[in-house]
Structure 1
Amino acid sequence: MSERATLPFDRARCADEPDFCELAEVAPILIRRTGADRRDDWFNRTWLEFTGRSIAEEAGSGWIDGIHPEDRDRHVAAFARAFDACEPYALDYRLRRRDGSYRWIAAKGEPFTRHGVLAGYWSSGTDITEHRDAQHSQRVLINDLNHRMKNTLTVVQAIAEQTFRADRPMADAIACFGGRLRALASMQDQLVTNAWETVPLRDLVATTCAPLDPGGGRIRLEGPCLVVGAEMAVTLTMALHELLTNAVKYGALSNHTGRVAITWRTCVEAGGQRLRLVWKERGGPAVSVPVGRGFGSRFIERCLGGEAGDRSTLCFEADGVRWALDTALSA
C-alpha cells in the first residue's frame, strides 16, 4: 500500500479545497457546517435553494427558526448532547421549505477535528417525506387488511356455525357451506380488483348470479349505474347467494319456466340518497310459507346494520318470493 493511501482523511483540510467546495455545493443533500463555537457558518447551495434563504439569514442559529416548532427543542437537545460528547448524531425532523411547507429531513452529523481538537460538525440531511408517507400508507393498509380479515373470518365462523347443524346431513351441509364460501370469495375478488373501496352494483349482481344462470336468460337485471361500499357489497352478495340457492332448490329456478327479476333504483330523501332493490321470482312452483326460518332467511331479513329507516323484507307471495331492500346509499 502506498504512503498516500495510509494518510488519515482530513475533512477540515478538504473543506478548504476548491474541488471539495464545488462537490459540496452541487451535492443532492442538505449540508451545513458548525464551528467550534456551535454556530453554523456555511450552507451548501442545495440547502439554500431548499429553504429559500441566504447564508446570512441561516448563519449562527438563524436556520433553527426553520425547524418545525414541535421538533425544535428535540433537535437542539440532541445536537447539544452529541457536541458535548464529541459523537456522531442522527435524527429525523421537519424543516420548512421555501414554499412554506414542512418536509421531513433525515439528518446525520459527524464531528471533525484540527490538530486533535474538536473544530466543529459537518451535518447532512436528506428529504424523506415521500418515504415516510409511503410507510404511513403501508401501515394504514396493513391495519385495514387485518381488520377486514378479522371481519371475513367472523363471517366464515358464523356461516359455519349456522350451516353445520346437528340435524343436517353432513353431505348437504358441506355442499351448502362450499357454496356460501364461493360466494364470499367471489365478492372478495371484486373488492381486491377495486382496491377495497367500491364495487359497481351491476357487476356485483351479475357475478353473483352467473354460476346459477349460465346463459343469462332467466335472471333479468335492471337499474342505474351506481357503486356500493365494501360492507354493503359483502352483505348484498351473501343475501343474493341465499336467494339464488333457495330459488334453485324450491323457487323459480327449480323448473324450466321460472324467471327472476332483480331491479334497483335510487331516491333522495331528507336523510340523503337511498338504494331500493327488489328481488322478485315468477313462474316457479306454488309458494308456501316455510314453517321455520333457516340461516339464509334470517340473514336476508337481518342483513342490514340497523340504521334508522333501513328495511329488509322477505315475502312469500303467491306468485313467487319477493325481497325488498331499502337502505341508505353512501356517496
Structure 2
Amino acid sequence: MQGNDARQRESEDRFRLMADSAPVMIWVAGVDKQFEWVNRPWLEFTGRAMDDELGSGWLSGVHAEDLERCSGIFHASFDARQPFTMDFRLRRHDGSHRWVLANGVPRTAPDGTFHGYTGSCIDIHERKELEERLAERTRALRVADRRKDEFLAMLAHDLRNPLGPIANATAILKMMEKQMPAIAPVRQIVERQLEQLRRVIGDMRDVTRITQAKLELQNERVEVSELVRHALENAQPQIDAREHRVQVEEPEAPLAVCGDSMRLAQALSHLLVNAAKFTPTGGEIIIRAHAEGDMAHIHVKDNGQGIAPDFLPNVFEPFAQEAHSKPRTNNGLGVGLTIAKRLAELHGGDIRAASDGPGRGAEFVLVLPLARSGEPASRAGHDAEHGAVA
C-alpha cells in the first residue's frame, strides 16, 4: 500500500514538473469543482500566490463581463462530465485583462472513477483584437456599401426625371430643322448625350437591383442565335463608332440556354461593348458558341489592347481599370463587366476572361446552362429596358 502511495506521489510530482515547464497555463480541479493546483506559468501570468488561485479564487481574476458566462460553462461541463472550450478575459499581473482560450477535459481513473478536470489556458489576446478589428471593419464596409447603393438609387432617380423634357426638346428641335438647318448638329449632340445618360442611369439601377437582390428574372428557353442577334443590336452603335468588323461563327448544331432573354442579351452586350471600347479603330470581334457538357459557351474575342496578367483577377471589379489603359471618357460608369458577370451568375453561369497580355487582344466567355427539352421559348423584347447597355 505504501508503495502504491509512493508511486502515486512520484507520478504527481513528475506531472507537476512537466506542467511547470510547459509554455501554457495548466490547472487541475477536483470533483467538487474547486481548483487544486495551477502551474508556474499560470502564477507568472496572474502574479498571484498559489493559495489565491485555489478553490474558486481563480474566478476573481475573470473580467466582470465574462464571469457569469465563464462560470456557467465551467459548472455545466462538470455536471455533464463533458470537455469544454471557452474564451474569457483574465487579469494579468500588470492589472490588464487579456483574452485567454481555456480547454478542460474530465480526469478519470482506469476503473472509470471521476476525479475532476485538467485543463489549459493560452493567451489569445492579439488574435482576439484582430478578430474584433476585422469585425468592426466588416460592419463599416457593410454600412458604406448600403449607403453607396442608396446613393446610386437616389442619383438614378434624380437624373431620370429630366430625361423626358430633354427628349421632348430634341423632338421639337428636329421638327425645326427644315426652317433652321444649322440646329441639326446641336440636336444630334444632345441626342447622343441623352442616350449616354440613359445608359449610365440604366447601369446605376442595375447595380442597385443586383446588389440588393431585387432583380427579377423571367426564365425561359432562349436560342443562342437570337441571343447573339439581340446583343449585337444593342452594341451596334459602339461597334460602328469604332468601325470594327464582327464575325459570327455559327455553332455546329443549334444551341439554346435557359434564362431571361433580355438580361442575357444585356450581359452579352456588355462583353461586346467592352471589346469595342478597348479595340483600336478598325479592329475585329469574333463571336462563336459551342456546348460543353450541360453548359453553353459563348465566346467574344477581340484583337484589341489586351489585359495584363496581374490585372486579369480584377477585371470584373466595379470601376476597375488598368494603369496603362486610356481613361474612361464617355464610356459609362465602368461597371459593364461587373453587371455582366453578376447576371451570368444569377442564371447559374459565369463569365471567364483570358488574354495573352497587353496588345494581344482578349477573350471573354459567357457560360450558361443549356435549356432542357420542353422549356418554353423566349418572348423577344418582353422588356426593352433590360436591353440597355453602357
User: Which gives a bigger RCO, structure 1 or 2 (Cα 8 Å, sep 6+)?
Assistant: 2
Higher strand share: 1
Superposition TM-score, scaled by structure 1 size: 0.45
